[in-house]
Amino acid sequence: MSSADEQRRVGVESCGVPNVNRERGQRQVFCGLAGIVWLHRKIQDAFFLVVGSRTCAHLLQSAAGVMIFAEPRFATAILQERDLAGLADCNQELDRVVADVLERRSDIKTLFLVGSCPSEVIKLDLSKAAERLSETHQGRVRVLDYSASGLETTFTQGEDVCLMSLTPQLPLLAEGESSLLVVGTLPDVVEDQFARIFRDLGIGPVHFLPPRQSTELPPVGKGSRVLLAQPFLGETARALQKRGATLLDAPYPLGIEGTLGWLKAAADAWGVSEERLREVTAAPIARAERGLARQRELLAGKRITFLPDSQLEIPIARFLARECGMELVEVATPFLDRQLMESELQLLPSDLRLTEGQDVERQLDRVREDRPDLTVCGLGLANPLEAEGLRTKWSIELVFSPIHGFDQAADLAELFARPLVRGALLQV
List the binding residues. Answer: 31, 56, 117
First to last CA, the chain: 37
387-391: which pairs have CB atoms within 8 A and are 24 or more residues apart?
391/419, 391/420, 391/422, 391/423
For residue 10, report the phi and psi dihedrals to the nearest 5 degrees.
-60, -40
Q: E-strand spans in 194-352?
A: 206-209, 224-228, 246-247, 303-306, 327-333
> How many residues are given for the chain?
428
Contact criterion met (CB below 8 Å) for 164 and 235:
yes
Return the SS3 of 141.
Answer: coil
Contact criterion met (CB below 8 Å) for 399 and 47:
no
C-alpha dihedral sign at 39, 45, 46, 49: positive
Distance in angstroms (rounded) separating the CA atoms of residues 194 and 181: 12
C-alpha dihedral sign at 341, 342, 347, 352: positive
426 burial type by CB count under 10 A (0-12 exposed, 13-18 middle, 19+ buried) = exposed
Binding residues for [4Fe-4S] cluster: 31, 56, 117
Q: How far is CA 410 from the centre of its chain?
A: 19
Q: E-strand spans in 133-240?
A: 142-147, 179-183, 206-209, 224-228
- Give the CA-trace dihedral at 131, 135, 137, 141, to 10 degrees: 60
Contact criterion met (CB below 8 Å) for 109 and 101:
no
Contact criterion met (CB below 8 Å) for 210 and 240:
no
77-85: which pairs have CB atoms within 8 A and are 24 or more residues apart?
77/49, 77/50, 77/51, 77/52, 78/52, 78/53, 78/54, 79/51, 79/52, 79/53, 79/118, 79/119, 79/122, 83/122, 84/118, 84/121, 84/122
Query: Shortest CA distance to 235 belongs to which of 182, 171, 172, 159?
Result: 159
